Amino acid sequence: MIRVSIDPAPIELALELAALEERGAGGVASFTGVVRGGDGITALELEHYPGMTEDALCTLAEAAMDRWNLLGVTVLHRVGRMAVGERIVFIGTAAAHRREALEACAYLIDRLKTDAPFWKREWRGDAASWVEARASDEAAAAKW
């Protein structure tokens, strides 16, 4: 089972985790990304290319299913403007054993950061600036 969604609506963790647990897995791993504050940041805004972004996330989820023996993968990403502290991304994996679930979850978030076409703007009051790609994200994705 693969579930991929790009939506401005808030991410409901309990519902998403319950759906993965219902797959009968021995292990469910998840990562939840939250909009960071600091440095005057008041909000983060994400844009994407509809169709292309969903395809990229589905490709990543399928690659994880092929590489690890998974019972389920969930990849949810929000778009639009979000305040500091709001959930922005959820990755969940379910497998018979914890190692596969954990490794697949790490793979998905590392690759999502570089392979999915999202554009981010950080807001500081009324001013916004585009976020550049980070070398650390490239390095994390390259290890896979």
pLDDT at 140: 87
Query: 128 lies in which domain range?
Result: 2-142
For the record, the structure tokens of 78 come out as 């929000």
Residues (pLDDT < 50) of the chain are: none
Distance CA 56, CA 52 (A): 6
What are 40-65's pLDDT values in tens digits? 999 999 999 999 999 999 999 999 99
DSSP per-residue string spanning 76-97? EEE-EEEETT-EEEEEEEEESS
Write the CATH number for 92. Answer: 3.90.1170.40
pLDDT at 133: 85
- The one-character DSSP state at 11 is P
Residues paired with residue 3 on neighbouring β-strands, in sequence order: 74
